[in-house]
């Protein structure tokens, strides 16, 4: 009788391997197969060198496999009775397509569980001295993607309205669209002097941080040669990094 398979969607955290959860570590160490994303720290795979490692990473235009193929792979491995860890950067559900994978497994009648991860959307600004909320600066925070589905002809996001609601704006996957995002926010009324920070390779030894304004962010990113993966934080909370500095 074949052993029933199981898939755990595990959040790998923002990049620093020490920010993996205890539960995530235990599941990686006991897995038969680890299907991993491009943004995870590869040292996490060393926690279980005996497992089969499958690269399902997607970065920029380089996709090892499509999302449909990943869904099918996870279902197939579970049907084979394998103990699978689907290792994803950050948190599995925050712009991570983890929900789509869980839905596919549920529809196929397979057992699936989720292990939340420390999201880069909060943790990376935090270690750079930026709280996404602060009594003096922001009572709310909005998380947005800077890269919507490629099959959409236009954004569903109304950047002009977003510029008017206040609080902190955290943009993930927006490095390639910074000029358009900045122009749209200022076009919606966001003051050009609004504090803005860009963090790339956050929480890792390669981390780089740029402190600028929404008016200058596109030019400053280009001049400094910053490239994805990166996080953009916009709003008054960014000014706290001038006092707090690097909190790693």
Q: Is 37 a catalytic residue?
A: yes
The alpha carbon torsion through 112, 116, 120, 125 (nearest 10 deg) reads: 160
Q: Where are the domains of the chain?
A: 6-115, 120-244
Q: Is 58 a catalytic residue?
A: yes
- Among 32, 37, 91, 201, which one carries the catalytic annotation? 37
Considering the domain delimited by 6-115, tell me its CATH architecture. Answer: 3-Layer(aba) Sandwich (3.40)
Q: 120-244: same fold as 6-115?
A: no
Q: What is the pLDDT of residues 69-106, one digit of tens each?
A: 999 999 999 999 999 999 999 999 999 899 999 999 99
- Among 64, 65, 155, 173, which one carries the catalytic annotation? 173
Q: What is the pLDDT of residue 62?
A: 59
Please report the DSSP string for 35-93 in residue order: EE-TTS-GGGGGG-TTSEEEE--EETTEESS-HHHHHHHHHHHHHTT-EEEEEESB-SS
Q: What is the pLDDT of residues 31-48, one digit of tens each?
A: 999 999 998 999 999 999
The reply to whether CATH 3.30.950.10 applies to domain 120-244 is yes
Q: What is the pLDDT of residue 64?
A: 77
Is residue 167's pLDDT more than 80? yes
- Among 25, 58, 155, 216, which one carries the catalytic annotation? 58
């Amino acid at each position: 009788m074949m052993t029933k398979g199981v898939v755990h969607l595990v959040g790998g955290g923002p990049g620093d391997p020490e920010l993996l959860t205890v539960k995530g570590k235990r599941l990686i160490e006991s897995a038969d197969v680890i299907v991993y994303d491009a943004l995870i720290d590869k040292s996490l795979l060393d926690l279980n060198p005996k497992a089969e490692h499958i690269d399902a990473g997607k970065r920029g235009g380089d996709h090892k496999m499509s999302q449909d193929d990943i869904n099918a792979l996870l279902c197939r491995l579970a049907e084979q009775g394998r103990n699978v860890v689907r290792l994803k950067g950050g948190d599995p559900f925050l712009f991570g397509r983890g929900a789509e994978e869980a839905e596919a497994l549920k529809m196929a009648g397979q057992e699936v569980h989720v292990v939340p991860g420390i999201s880069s959307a909060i943790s990376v600004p935090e270690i750079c001295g930026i709280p996404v909320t602060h009594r003096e600066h922001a009572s709310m925070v909005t998380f947005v993607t800077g890269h919507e589905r490629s099959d959409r002809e236009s954004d569903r996001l109304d950047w002009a309205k977003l510029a008017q609601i206040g609080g902190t704006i955290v943009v993930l996957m927006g490095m390639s669209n910074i000029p358009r995002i900045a122009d749209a926010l200022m076009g919606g009324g966001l003051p050009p002097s609004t504090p803005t920070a860009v963090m790339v390779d956050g929480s890792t030894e390669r981390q780089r941080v740029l402190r600028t304004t929404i008016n200058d962010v596109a030019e400053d990113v280009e001049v400094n040669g910053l490239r994805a993966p990166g996080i953009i934080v916009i709003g008054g909370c960014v000014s706290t990094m001038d006092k707090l500095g690097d909190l790693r």
